[in-house]
Amino acid sequence: MKIDDIDAFIAVVRSQSLGVAAEALQLTQSAITRRLQNFEEALGAVLLDRHTKPMKPTAIGWRVYERCQAVMREVDALRELVAEDASPSGTLRLGVPQTIGDAVLLEALQGMKARFPELQVQVAHGWGGNLVQRIERRELDAAAVLFPAGKVFPEGVTGQSLAQMPLVVVGAKDASARKRCKLAECQAQGWVLNPDGCGFRAGLQRALAEQGQGLKVNLEIFGTDLQLGLVASGMGLGLVPEPLLQGSRHRERLEVINVSDFRPVIDLWLVQAAFVGNLQGAVDLFGDVVAAGAGSARASGLRCVFGILGYA
């Protein structure tokens, strides 16, 4: 049973004419006749009464016609689903680390809702490696993640570097505190960091290990805003992407510490399944908003970007 045969049957019933159906499908009448015969043979039933003029469906033919209309509606929906230039609809499954989510997730979701009102968005949080695995398993469609430059992704997963962000060490603002030091000297104050699994923490731990130092963690806390608030209260040092520091409400109570032997840089990536069909436009919009948020955490900068994207 072929879709083309179903299409021919529907065209004949609607037009009640082989000639009109052939013209509509840009086929010859003999081609239409063959498709009708193939369809009837596949079902094992006579669908058209050829002794009437105009030709009409049999009793079972009417019932088959109704089902065929439903089938073709589903076929059209499938074609629209995989058309990358079609308007996004259905469900978009996104992943974001807490670090990024704190800064831009609200604006990204509002932007997609305004541009694509038929789209439903589901969001999952997690570390970058876990989010990439979930895309590979087709549990997510796309994610914004933080990895070093040159990251290689698994087959079936594509990655686009959106921005490069320096990581900065921050401490509570104190006129008597040292503004320049080496990494080993930071150990006395200890750190306020994400739990194990965070790429920032892993990079810091590797850098300390290369110097024969262990990582001294004062507090393990999820969420950039809470971490920076604790750092500003003197609970230890923090490690954060510089753009997120600039947009933090705790910024005036924090001081960037110039660590001469530790200058990490991280790339912000948009990672997605290799093919997401008509969701591609929404994925692209998500990437644009996240990149803008990383480049400027100030609300005015985000409003400017949304204006360019048609959301303002």
In the block, tokens 């805003």 appear at 225
- In this prediction, residue 178 carries a pLDDT of 63
Pairing state between β 180-181 and 157-172 = unpaired
- In this prediction, residue 186 carries a pLDDT of 87
- In this prediction, residue 271 carries a pLDDT of 95
In the block, tokens 């680390």 appear at 97
Nearest C-alpha neighbor of 164 from the set 140, 180, 147, 187 = 147
Ranges of beta strands (E only) in the chain are 48-49, 56-57, 90-96, 119-125, 142-147, 157-172, 180-181, 191-193, 217-220, 238-241, 254-259, 265-273
228 vs 239: CA distance, rounded Å: 9
Phi, psi for residue 159 in degrees, rounded to 5: -130, 140
Q: pLDDT 10s digit of each residue in the chain, 312 long?
A: 899 999 999 999 988 888 999 988 889 999 999 999 999 999 999 999 988 888 889 999 999 999 998 898 788 777 766 666 667 778 899 998 866 666 677 778 888 888 888 888 999 888 888 899 899 888 899 999 888 878 889 888 999 998 888 889 999 987 556 678 899 888 888 999 888 777 788 888 888 999 998 999 999 987 778 889 999 999 999 988 887 787 788 989 999 999 989 988 888 899 998 888 888 889 999 998 888 766 554 333 333 333 323 332
Q: Does the model's pTM come out above 0.85?
A: no
Parse the chain into domains and list their residue ranges.
Answer: 3-82, 90-142+151-158+275-309, 165-265
The domain 3-82 having CATH identifier 1.10.10.10: the answer here is yes
Architecture of domain 90-142+151-158+275-309: 3-Layer(aba) Sandwich (3.40)
- In this prediction, residue 64 carries a pLDDT of 94
CATH no. for 165-265: 3.40.190.10
Matching fold, domains 90-142+151-158+275-309 and 165-265:
yes
**Is residue 239 within 8 Å of 199, Cβ to Cβ?**
no
